[in-house]
Amino acid sequence: MGGGNKIKSVAVIGAGAAGAVTAAALKAEEAFDVIRVFERRQSAGGTWIYDAAVQPNVLVRPGALPAEVDPPLEIPESLPTVTRPNQQERFSTTPIYDSLTTNVPEIAMSFSDVRFPYGPFAPHHIPRQYIENYFALHKTDSFLVLNTTVEDVLKINHPSNDGSTQWKLTLRRYDALQNVDIWWEEIFDAVILANGHYSVPTIPYVKGLEEYIKKYPGRIVHSKSYRSPSIYKSKRVVVIGNSASGTDLSRELISTAQLPVYQSKRSKTWWEGDTPPAGIEWKPVISEYLPDGRILFDDGTYLDDIDTVIYCTGYKPSYPFWNAKKNGQPLWDYRKGRLVKSYWHTFFQDFPNLGIVGLPRVLTFRSFEYQAIALARLFANRNPIPLPPIPVQQAWVSEREELTRKEHRRFHDISWDEGETHAWLQGFLNWSGLGTLTGQGRIPPPLTKEMVWAIENLKKYRPGGDDGKKDSNGQPTEAYEWIMVENRKRDVLGFI
């Protein structure tokens, strides 16, 4: 496995939930001399860090890919060195809004050795504190290298000349006292990517949208910059999308915006009823933006005098640090929407000393633990069984492409109801096995009956949509306070 027991130093990129449990799993092996967790923010917490001050006008070009809007920085010719601070937008602020709560029951989000303090759907400051505390709990906070961005990951030959490889990381830290960027390099035997994929927002291409953005500055925003409904008081608002953030924002805006709040969507989610909640009007997808401000929809209807359009259209993974040219291939295929030559959403066919934790849409944070333990065990050369041969891994990619194409879902989406999640986690259990007799190495946690029950029965969103009730002030009641349901819909994790 990438030199097996020659792996003595490991770099982890990102100190969110994935980075926290990865650091703990690596430390538990007691097999590595050096473990570093590089985090570009000033604290651990990842996407759960709350940024109160955001720039709502920072938008990506409609239809643009992360490689275009989040390109790598130009690296100084000679390192180490000091340069003027970077001014390029790096999309480092998070998408956390004031009222955000988790949408997975806390038992499934918690790592196996410590639970969230309360739930089942906790406010955003709870997971942030949980992640920070997790580093302290496992005494891995000493591994953290904060306020440091990984700007380049380059494969190099191992000095032993035995055919194995290492990774050279180019690093940049902003020194606020001197107002400069400090650059340097470090070399590691293995790298684990744990940098998440909620940084670079995506806005789909729509006819006339790019010109509309230029003509009406500030009218088009992405949910990443949304914090509170208060600034939209008496505004005419269109929300694009009806997944978790689209649902939260449209229903929250009822309290302040001019009614109705318009919600544009492509299809119906399982928690929506046949009619929209009180105060919301459903619209189909937008077909065109006109220079006079009019917004046209697919069904021929239109809206005038709209004050704000909020795109809740998600994010695309961005890996600007990956040196695709020198490493021989890109890391992500945007046309196919998947990692390039990966296996089990975690390993890489061409890079045995490279792994990724936290990518699939599945049980967060718990699934990260399975991935982290499997990678730690493999890098420590203690895995009871090897990964399958490359031809088998290649066949897995082909079969999964065909399966997800037929089922009209993304390559890295793992469903729950057909047993796919169970099979995926079982794979990590097989590769990880037990720790040593003397206690080195974590063990993949059980998928307990209590957890399965919570996943299948506790819902943040009310199935069937709003019941039309109003409170004592005549305002629409919340339609998404968590409840227990008995008749669940297909793919219980479809809201992630």
Domain assignment of residue 467, yes or no: no
The C-alpha atoms of residue 315 and residue 334 are separated, in whole angstroms, by: 12
Examine the domain organization and report whether 35 and 172 are in the same domain: yes
How is residue 305 annotated by DSSP?
S
The C-alpha atoms of residue 231 and residue 128 are separated, in whole angstroms, by: 25
Average pLDDT, integer, range 183-198: 96
Find out whether the peptide bond into 56 is cis, omega within 30 degrees of 0. Answer: no
CB neighbour burial string for 298-329, b if at least 16 within 10 angstroms, e if fewer: eeeeebeebebbbbbbbbbbbbbbbbeeebee
Between β-strands 81-83 and 220-222, what pairing exists: parallel, antiparallel or unpaired? unpaired
Examine the domain organization and report whether 192 and 209 are in the same domain: no
Q: How many other β-carbons are positioned within 10 Å of the β-carbon of residue 230? A: 9
Average pLDDT, integer, range 412-441: 93
- pLDDT for 461: 74
Mapping DSSP to helix (H, G, I), strand (E, B) and coil, where does residue 321 land? coil
Q: Which domain holds residue 79?
A: 4-200+316-451
pLDDT above 90 coverage of the chain, percent: 80
Instruction: Give the confidence band of 362 by pLDDT, cuts at 50, 70, 90.
Output: confident
Examine the domain organization and report whether 227 and 309 are in the same domain: yes
pLDDT above 70 coverage of the chain, percent: 91
The C-alpha atoms of residue 113 and residue 195 are separated, in whole angstroms, by: 23
- pLDDT for 229: 95
Domain assignment of residue 492, yes or no: no
Q: What is the DSSP string of 216-254?
A: STTTEEEGGG---GGGGTT--EEEE--SHHHHHHHHHGG
State whether the Cα torsion 412-433-35-187 is positive or negative.
negative
Which CATH number is 247's domain given?
3.50.50.60
Burial class (CB in 10 A: 0-12, 13-18, 19+), 10: buried
Q: Is the pLDDT of residue 472 over 80?
A: no
Domain assignment of residue 474, yes or no: no
Examine the domain organization and report whether 110 and 173 are in the same domain: yes
Examine the domain organization and report whether 215 and 362 are in the same domain: no
How is residue 292 annotated by DSSP?
T
- pLDDT for 487: 46
The C-alpha atoms of residue 322 and residue 334 are separated, in whole angstroms, by: 15
Smallest Cα–Cα separation from 203: which of 236, 235, 241?
241
Q: Please, which contacts does 119-127 make with residues 24 or more away whose CB atoms are closer than 8 Å? A: 120/454, 120/458, 120/482, 121/460, 121/482, 124/48, 124/50, 124/96, 124/100, 125/50, 126/102, 127/17, 127/45, 127/48, 127/102, 127/365
Q: Is the pLDDT of residue 466 over 50?
A: no
pLDDT tens-digit readout, 374-390: 999 999 999 999 999 99
Asked if 249 and 223 count as a contact pair (C-beta separation under 8 A), the reply is yes
Examine the domain organization and report whether 54 and 195 are in the same domain: yes
Q: Is the pLDDT of residue 107 over 60?
A: yes
Examine the domain organization and report whether 296 and 346 are in the same domain: no
The C-alpha atoms of residue 473 and residue 455 are separated, in whole angstroms, by: 34
Domain closes at, from 414, 429, 451: 451
Domain assignment of residue 465, yes or no: no
Helices 17-29 and 125-137 pack at an angle, to 10 degrees, of: 20
Domain closes at, from 313, 336, 361: 313
Q: Is the pLDDT of residue 191 over 70?
A: yes
Between β-strands 280-283 and 180-188, what pairing exists: parallel, antiparallel or unpaired? unpaired
Domain closes at, from 278, 313, 348: 313
Instruction: Give the confidence band of 462 by pLDDT, cuts at 50, 70, 90.
Output: low
Q: Is the pLDDT of residue 151 over 90?
A: yes
Rounded to the nearest 10°, the torsion over CA 434, 438, 441, 447 is 40
Q: Is the pLDDT of residue 244 over 50?
A: yes
Examine the domain organization and report whether 218 and 245 are in the same domain: yes
Mean pLDDT, the chain, rounded, equals: 90
Q: Say which residues have a Cβ less than 8 Å from residue 282's Cβ, sequence separation at least 6.
A: 262, 263, 264, 265, 276
- pLDDT for 268: 77
Examine the domain organization and report whether 388 and 292 are in the same domain: no
Please give the tally of structural domains in the chain: 2
Q: Per mean pLDDT, which range of 75-84, 253-262, 306-315, 473-482 is the poorest?
A: 473-482
Domain assignment of residue 480, yes or no: no
Strand partners, 456: none
Q: Is the pLDDT of residue 469 over 70?
A: no
Examine the domain organization and report whether 360 and 439 are in the same domain: yes
Examine the domain organization and report whether 193 and 238 are in the same domain: no
Q: Is the pLDDT of residue 444 over 80?
A: yes
Locus of tokens 């709003």: 466
Asked if 341 and 397 count as a contact pair (C-beta separation under 8 A), the reply is yes
Is 290 or 5 the better-scoring residue by pLDDT?
Answer: 290
Average pLDDT, integer, range 431-446: 94
The C-alpha atoms of residue 153 and residue 435 are separated, in whole angstroms, by: 31
Separation in Å, CA 236 to CA 18, 280, 477? 39, 12, 20
Domain assignment of residue 169, yes or no: yes
Domain assignment of residue 47, yes or no: yes
Average pLDDT, integer, range 294-306: 97
Domain assignment of residue 160, yes or no: yes
- pLDDT for 464: 52
Q: How many other β-carbons are positioned within 10 Å of the β-carbon of residue 467? A: 12
Q: Is the pLDDT of residue 182 over 90?
A: yes
Examine the domain organization and report whether 159 and 273 are in the same domain: no
The C-alpha atoms of residue 149 and residue 303 are separated, in whole angstroms, by: 43
pLDDT tens-digit readout, 273-289: 788 999 999 999 999 99
Q: Is the pLDDT of residue 475 over 80?
A: no
